[in-house]
């Protein structure tokens, strides 16, 4: 591939201006909060826009770091990405100059790997960095690579990069994943829209964000259909056209605010909240004793039972949709610290996603982590303010939740992890009456 840039043999991440949240807890939250567009839908929609040379327009795109990284990665490829108004992005991929997604992009955001499918299908070749692991486990990409091979791509792996080529066009195929994979399904789906012939993807992820992507692809002229709950079929087309789309609301952000209201004993109304997409999670919240009322696009949370009898312990198990989302496991664990009795937590999707519980324990939570997938939480604990360190996005949001519930002041370090995926989180919490501010990080040992 002549147009690939030279490798960088050594990757040194750009220094991040480290910030921390300072939170004074123990105040019930109250009022209304508007739920933003979904991170995990928006990233794939922006990538899908590279399937056509025509302009695509997206509304309700969350203003978060991961979206900025995706926009920057696309611009580096020669794609025009405009941001004409807050929450609006326009993408025109008429010219794609580089077919190289560098380590810098992959290191900043694992979701950059979603560009494999569309670039391969549209341009027939791509060199893309292995996104490797992160703080919630190894997170390999073998399912994505195998799916592309099934579609006829030739892929070599050298020096941390996948070299992918499609001699001629990709060819439709029967893709069978060993287990359900969200981005694997999406990568296969994106590639299949421009392949020759028919593709079947099974088991296909059932997450609402996958269906939002399907809805957008259909507007682009793609022939895609979910023909069974876990099967997606695609009839490849030669060309797709530009389209407009409004990103669906973020169910994980919504779940995070449900827990915020519950653990502070507050009353909050979530506006534009996807009640239908939160079935398993709201069922757990209700079982624990949180008051939940749902409308077509709102959720009302009543956490007053906390001050009365407290919540009730319950066992939880994460699973692919429609099960309890692994991304809501950390917030749910914070909720379980406020429940009387013993709750068992079974994380089935990722390994190492329970590690963050050690930070929660610094705030007084009674937590035992048995192995990579199992933990026990005993409650109810009066959490107390402490200094904690964020390791990943969802754990970070959950440490904020714990700090909001805790007595006294907390410092939650590593705010950049949270900014990756939550739009204006501290402004939203402040509008609900929380005392939270972001400030430059003060090195441990130094007095503020």
C-alpha 138/C-alpha 134 separation (Å) is: 7
Q: Which two tokens stand for residue 133?
A: 């692991």
Task: For ligand EPU, give the closer residue by CB, 94 or 160.
Answer: 160
Residue numbers at the binding site for ligand EPU (CB under 6 A) = 39-40, 43, 111, 137, 139-144, 179, 181-184, 325-327, 349-350, 393-394, 421
Compute the distance between CA of residue 23 and CA of residue 400 in angstroms, rounded to an integer.
8
Shortest Å distance, C-beta 212 to ligand EPU: 11
Residue (177 or 311) nearer to ligand EPU, CB? 177
391: how many CB neighbours lie within 10 A of its CB? 19
Q: Shortest distance, CB of residue 361 to ligand EPU, whole angstroms?
A: 21
DSSP 222-249: -EEEEEETTEEEEE--S-----EEEPPB
Cβ closer to ligand EPU: 70 or 121? 70
Cα gap 418→420, rounded to integer Å: 5
Rg (the chain; Cα; Å): 22
141 CB contacts (<8 Å, ≥6 apart)?
A: 113, 130, 131, 162
State both tokens at 293.
């009322």
User: Smallest distance from the beta carbon of 52 to ligand EPU, in angstroms?
Assistant: 22
Considering only CA atoms, which of 148, 131, 149 is closest in space to residue 140? 131
Least distance from ligand EPU to the Cβ atom of residue 179, Å: 6
* Smallest separation (angstroms) from ligand EPU to the CB of 136: 6
Strands 409-413 and 387-389: parallel
Sign of the four-CA dihedral 236, 239, 243, 246: positive
Give the nearer residue to ligand EPU in terms of CB position, either 8 or 142. 142
Smallest distance, ligand EPU to C-beta of residue 349, A: 5
Alpha helical stretches, state H, 22-129: 39-48, 65-76, 103-108, 116-123
| SS3 of residue 217 by DSSP | helix
Closer to ligand EPU by Cβ: residue 26 or 250: 250
* Gap between the Cα atoms of 75 and 93, Å rounded: 9
Q: Nearest 5 degrees, angle CA 105-CA 109-CA 112?
A: 65
Task: Tell which residue, 72, 86, 178, 162, has the closest CA to residue 117.
Answer: 162
Q: Which two tokens stand for residue 267?
A: 């009353």
Beta bridge partners of 224: 234
Q: Which is nearer to ligand EPU, 235 or 351 (CB)?
A: 351
Please say which residue, 96 or 204, places its beta carbon nearer to ligand EPU. 204
CB-nearer residue toward ligand EPU: 31 or 140: 140
Q: How far apart are the first and last CA of the chain?
A: 53
Nearer to ligand EPU, 179 or 296 (CB): 179
Taking the complex as a whole, the smallest distance from the CB of residue 162 to ligand EPU amounts, in Å, to 12
Give the nearest distance from C-beta 224 to ligand EPU in angstroms: 18
**How many whole angstroms from its chain centre is CA 266?**
26
Buried b (16+ CB within 10 A) or exposed e, 157-193: eeeebbbbbbeebbbbbebebeebbbbbbbbbbbbbb
Residue 191 CB, shortest distance to ligand EPU, in Å, is: 14
Residue 272: closest CA among 30, 35, 7 = 35
Task: Select 112 or 381, whichever has its Cβ closest to ligand EPU.
Answer: 112
- C-beta of 213: minimal distance to ligand EPU in Å? 10
Least Å distance between CB 170 and ligand EPU?
A: 18
In this structure, what DSSP letter does residue 172 have? Answer: -
Smaller CB separation from ligand EPU, 40 or 264: 40
Q: 142 or 227, CB closer to ligand EPU? A: 142
Q: Are 365 and 151 in contact (CB under 8 A)?
A: no
Smallest distance from ligand EPU to CB 129, Å: 15
């Amino acid at each position: 591939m002549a147009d690939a840039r030279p490798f960088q043999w050594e990757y040194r991440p750009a220094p991040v201006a480290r910030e921390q949240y300072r939170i004074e807890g123990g105040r019930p939250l109250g009022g209304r909060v508007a739920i933003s567009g979904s991170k995990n839908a928006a990233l794939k929609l922006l990538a899908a826009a590279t399937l056509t040379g025509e302009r695509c327009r997206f509304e309700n795109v969350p203003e978060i770091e991961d979206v900025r990284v995706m926009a920057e990665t696309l611009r580096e490829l020669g794609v025009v990405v405009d941001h004409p108004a807050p929450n609006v992005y326009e993408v025109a991929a008429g010219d794609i100059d580089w077919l190289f997604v560098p380590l810098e992009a992959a290191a900043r955001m694992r979701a950059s790997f979603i560009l494999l499918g569309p670039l391969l299908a549209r341009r027939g070749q791509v060199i893309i960095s292995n996104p490797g692991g992160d703080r919630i486990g190894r997170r390999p990409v073998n399912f994505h690579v195998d799916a592309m091979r099934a579609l006829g791509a030739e892929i070599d792996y050298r020096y941390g990069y996948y070299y992918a080529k499609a001699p001629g066009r990709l060819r439709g195929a029967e893709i069978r994943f060993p287990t359900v994979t969200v981005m694997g399904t999406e990568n296969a789906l994106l590639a299949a829209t421009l392949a020759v012939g028919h593709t079947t993807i099974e088991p296909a992820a059932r997450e609402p964000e996958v269906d939002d992507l399907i809805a957008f692809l259909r507007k682009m002229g793609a022939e895609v259909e979910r023909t069974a709950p876990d099967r997606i079929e695609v009839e490849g087309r030669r060309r797709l056209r530009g389209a407009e789309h409004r990103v669906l609301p973020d169910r994980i952000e919504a779940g995070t605010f449900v827990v915020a209201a519950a653990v502070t004993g507050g009353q909050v109304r979530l506006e534009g909240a996807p009640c239908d997409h939160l079935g398993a999670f709201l069922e757990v919240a209700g079982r624990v004793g949180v008051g939940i009322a749902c409308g077509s696009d709102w959720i009302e949370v009543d956490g007053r039972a906390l001050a009365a009898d407290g919540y009730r312990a319950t066992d939880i198990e994460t699973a692919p949709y429609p099960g309890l989302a692994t991304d809501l496991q950390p917030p749910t664990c914070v909720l379980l610290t406020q429940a009387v009795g013993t709750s068992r937590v079974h994380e089935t999707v990722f390994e190492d996603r329970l590690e963050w519980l050690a930070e929660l324990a610094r705030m007084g939570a009674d937590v035992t982590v048995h192995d990579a997938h199992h933990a026990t939480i005993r409650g109810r604990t009066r959490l107390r303010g402490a200094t904690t360190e964020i390791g990943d996005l969802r754990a970070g949001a959950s440490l904020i939740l714990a700090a909001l519930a805790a007595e006294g002041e907390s410092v939650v370090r590593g705010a950049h992890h949270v900014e990756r995926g939550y739009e204006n989180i501290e402004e939203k919490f402040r509008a609900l009456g929380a005392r939270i501010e972001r400030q430059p990080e003060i090195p441990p040992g130094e007095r503020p």
